[in-house]
Chains A and B, each alone.
Chain A
Amino acid sequence: MSAAEDLGYQEKTHELKWVGKNVTRTDGVDKVTGRAQFGADLIMPGMLFGAVLRSPHAHAKINGIDTSKAEALKGVKAVICRDDFADQPSEMIQVGELSVNIRDVIRNVMAREKAMYDGHAIAAVAATTAAIARKALKLIEVDYEVLPHVIDVEEAMKPDAPLLNEDMFTDGVDPKPDKPSNIAKRLEIKLGDVEAGFADADVVIEREYRTRPVHQGYIEPHACVASYTEDGQGEVWASTPGHFLVRAITARLCGMDVSKVKATASEIGGGFGGKNIVYLEPLAMALSRKCGRPVKMAMHRNEVFRATGPTSGSHMKVKIGAKRDGKITAGWAELMFQAGAFPGSPVFPAAMCAYACYDLENVLVIGWDVIANRPKTTAYRAPGAQISAFAVESAMDELARELGIDPIDLRLMNAAKEGTKAAYGPTFGPVGQVESLEAIKNHPNYKIPLGPNQGRGVASGFWFNIGGETSVTMNVNDDGTIALTLGNPDLSGTRTSISVMAAEELGIEPDRIRPTIGDTTSLGFNFISAGSRTTFAVGKATVEASRVVIDEFRARAAATWDIPVEAVVWEDGHARPASSNAGDFEPLSLEDIAREAKKTGGPIAGHVETNVSGAGPSFATEAVDIEVDPETGHIKVLRFTAAQDAGKAIQPNFVEGQYQGAAVQGIGWALNEEYIYDDKGRLENPGFLDYRMPVASDLPMIDAVIVEVPNPNHPYGVRGIGETSIVPVMAAMANALEDATDVRINELPLSPPRVLKALNEKNGG
């Protein structure tokens, strides 16, 4: 055995001591006592407060910015605008599941030629108090030339639509257009021959769907503190899922070497993908550089809604063909996604995932990435997959009705399984789609009789999950405890789950391991906490680091006993002779070895720098029961069951929490959440009051069913589990609505006015 051993899944021959149990989270006490420090909680000596001036226009040329009056205000220490940043060339960088162009990033962080959306940053101020900073914003004079704007994706695609970027010519179209448009890109996911598949079909369902932009809705607004010193060094403290990304973009936009920026991740108050990009940190750094004092910046809630990451609104067309017996012969879709002001909507993952739940021979999904005068989209939990699933899984439900087949049976009949070639490329290994469907089919939720105005809907979902660059350091302290340094901010308890895997490997109690999220100087590069990668990838690297440490423990024991290292095994937290042939020695505990480390060769540590691969896709199926008020169109959720494949749940109550949280975000998306714009392109509901996320009294308990089909590429079988459970929700809700009322709605949200209107139309009123 050595650290180089296969890090694949091994069925355990002994009972696991910690993995699969629930231990108390390591950051728990700090979070229930108010000690945990989030983005806006850091207080530095001499710290100033920053604020951002934002465009009131959806689309406007910026002819000039006069900051002189703001600069003259007593208490104001620095004012910055576009002139304080050098422009960036066109170059794609990867952030989470999505890639963005750094030329667009600089424009999104601070408007240059034009304000591209209501809320776009125009200038920023640092002052001795937050109130003075806000007052200074009013003294900045901006000469705007208001331009026609476009919000809606269908409008933005029209040839005569207001043009956001005169230099944009649609990619992926042959021949390349000679006229610019708002369509950034066309893409295709293709398998087999859909035309032949439709020719073979007995039944074809063809529908159109529309969704509205929705926000991730984390409760912590974006916040950071940056400090720049005269020697050209900068530090930044930020609420982020990826402080290495913060470092990279801050350094790049501020023209600093990467080594000169040290980024530290605060605790992060939710992100769901929406913090997978940088907004404030380069501004805070530039302000700090200008005045030589630390600058704290924290968004107001309305800035979060107006200027940060909603996901796309969409217009989708779906066509599914099947034989009478339920066998699907072809799946086609065309997805038109709003990217916001700059290209890069999640239309690609949406296209990848659209039909991934099914074992199909013929698939064609066409995607269009379209810019519009809205904030640039960022990732939102299984980005894009939830949107295309709303369309495909709604159509699947209609197909099941048309064929008179139970919707779960129809899905089972066509389910993706081991050996299925997905349209987006890979051939699946062991996956849990069949198991998730059967879990719902056999769940009491699927059998409870329904009353009047009640309905039940089901839908499935898929997310591929990712691995990525990971660096982990495990230091063995001289008292036999472990300092585990990870580079991935913990949004949901990942630190604890990863420690549990290390405890299992080392054979010690989890509370002897202290996990810390290290700053960017303490570890090699880490890709951000995204794509449900953290427990999987960082866990895998930590298992590897544990095994490096164990090998060193064995070597130290072997040296102590003067026997070959191969003759020493590590069991239950102790080095032991492999057999009586190896000699008769008292086992050495981890503490024994740690205590003597100075004499046996010095400090013991394991560190791993790797690019983790082998993320296991995760499938989910969900059932929801609703009751519709036929007089108001109000939908009440009665019951909700989410069954998702976790591979292996390291901490079952954390896994349940992910399914439950994802389900409720989906319920909000389905029922009421949406971005509402006025005719000037200004966001009308930039607050929690009118954005209407679910509150506790809106909901029942959410039943989470953990399906476990081990991922062969992880030592404990872990799959990423953070995202898939949001994917089926919106379709399941629409399917339940039809079950309850015989009304099919293909547009989100299923808000009372829309539902009541549809009910009226059905009733001929």
Chain B
Amino acid sequence: MASDRVNWNGSDVITMRYEAPETMEAAVELLSSDEGARVLAGGTDLLVQLRAEMIEPSLVVDVKRIAAMREITKENDGIRVGAAVAGAELGEHEEFKATWPGVLEAFELIGSTQIQGRATMGGNLCNASPAADSVPAMIAAGATATILGPGGQRDVPVEDIAIGPGQTSLDKGELVTSFFFPKPAARTGDAYLRFIPRTEMDIAVVGAGICLTLDDSDICKAARVSLGAVAARALVVDEAADALIGTPVDEAALAKLAEAASAAAKPIDDKRGTKEFRIQVMGVMARRTAEIALARAKAN
């Protein structure tokens, strides 16, 4: 580690501290020690907020030098992805790519190629933007987050972490260290689509993550639907999933899904889209996402 702090006779302004621990435990200790501590993972949100003076942390804890948080490991019943794995790194993991194409696509939609070199799913989740792309896809996939804190380790469904814009359910000193993606049942497909005004570089105006499983006769036997950017946090919409379950995911079921997705959407009017637009397009995107998930399930 070639970054040593030295004293410098400059200004008398109190400034922030930077630390790069090499273990998760050391990171938790640092986070617990300072009320104004923030986690630096990919930095693609944190540095923007620092520059805009939206936040003024007294301590920045860089978790990218913690090897365990940068690993993708196969476990018996699924795949574990370190919370500080960058998008470009996850995209190079062939098994993850083959198993969870929807999650990967969602993650890779975040920002540019440059952003992909840095952005992490841990950061995307804990930044707690209602429009975070990877979150509905992870929720649909049934992923859980592993959290380490002063009180020990716990596993929490991804949907329980972000609770409102910029707010998480994490306690002081807690750190999301990895995500666990359970091995999907046979004939499962996932997908994520979002609507943006351009083709790249925008924040989702609406986003839909869907994971569905077919039985041997192509009837949907399980589904999870999560919607982004239409409420204060990513929604898990059982009514939308129910529209698919027990159907061959035909036009009628897709129409019901779209209706349920629009009905569940409780968006705001803002610079990225009007309320009425979001409600209508939420249904469209949910339907299109389900079509992709369906095709994938049939191919699996």
Contacts and interface: CB of A to CB of B under 8 A. Distances in A.
Interface of A: 73-75, 127-129, 131-132, 134-135, 300, 302, 631-634, 671-672, 676, 684-685, 688-690, 692, 694-695, 697-698, 751-753, 756-757, 760
A757 B277 contact: yes
Contacts of B272: 690
B200 interface: yes
Contacts of A671: 197
Contacts of B271: 676, 684-685, 690
A620 B171 CA distance: 62
B55 to A, nearest CB: 14
Contacts of A752: 195, 197, 205, 273, 277, 281
Interface residues of B, number: 27
Contacts of B205: 752
Contact of A632 (B13, B195, B198, B200): B195
A302 B271 CA distance: 16
A694 B276 contact: no
B281 A631 contact: yes
A380 to B, nearest CB: 21
Taking chain B's interface residues, is the majority helix, strand, or loop, or is none over half, making it mixed? loop
A671 B197 CA distance: 8
A684 B15 CA distance: 29
Given A672-B198, A753-B274, A689 B203 contact: yes
Contacts of A633: 277
Nearest to A683: B271
Given A632-B195, A676-B271, A756-B277, A689 B202 contact: yes
Interface of B: 10-13, 15, 51-53, 195, 197-203, 205, 270-274, 276-277, 280-281, 284
Contacts of A632: 195, 281, 284
B13 A132 contact: yes
A73 B11 contact: yes
Contacts of B201: 688-689, 695
A239 B172 CA distance: 47
Contact of A695 (B53, B200, B203): B200
Nearest to B287: A631
Given A634-B197, A695-B200, A698-B198, A753 B273 contact: yes
Given A632-B281, A690-B272, A753-B274, A132 B11 contact: yes
Contacts of B284: 631-632
B197 A672 contact: yes
Given A75-B10, A757-B276, A302 B200 contact: no
Contacts of B15: 131
A692 B52 contact: no
Given A685-B271, A752-B277, A692 B12 contact: no
A751 B197 CA distance: 7
Contacts of A135: 11, 13
Contacts of B13: 73-75, 131-132, 135
Nearest to A684: B271
Contacts of B199: 695, 697-698
Q: Among A73, A134, A684, A689, which residue has the most Cβ atoms of chain B within 10 A?
A: A689
Contacts of A74: 10-13
Given A73-B11, A75-B11, A688-B201, 15 more contacts: A74-B12, A74-B13, A135-B13, A632-B281, A672-B198, A690-B271, A694-B198, A697-B199, A698-B198, A698-B199, A698-B200, A751-B197, A752-B277, A756-B280, A757-B277
Contacts of B200: 695, 697-698
Contacts of A676: 271
Given A685-B271, A689-B203, A756-B280, A129 B198 contact: no
Given A672-B197, A676-B271, A692-B197, A128 B281 contact: no
25 contacts: A73-B11, A74-B10, A75-B13, A129-B11, A131-B15, A134-B53, A302-B52, A631-B281, A632-B195, A633-B277, A672-B197, A684-B270, A685-B271, A689-B201, A689-B202, A690-B203, A695-B200, A697-B199, A752-B195, A752-B205, A753-B276, A756-B277, A756-B280, A757-B276, A757-B277
Contact of A692 (B11, B202, B277): B202
Contacts of A692: 197-198, 202
A694 B281 CA distance: 22
Contacts of B281: 631-632, 752, 756
Q: Among A74, A129, A752, which residue has the most Cβ atoms of chain B within 10 A?
A: A752
Contacts of A631: 281, 284
A128 B11 contact: yes
B273 A128 contact: no
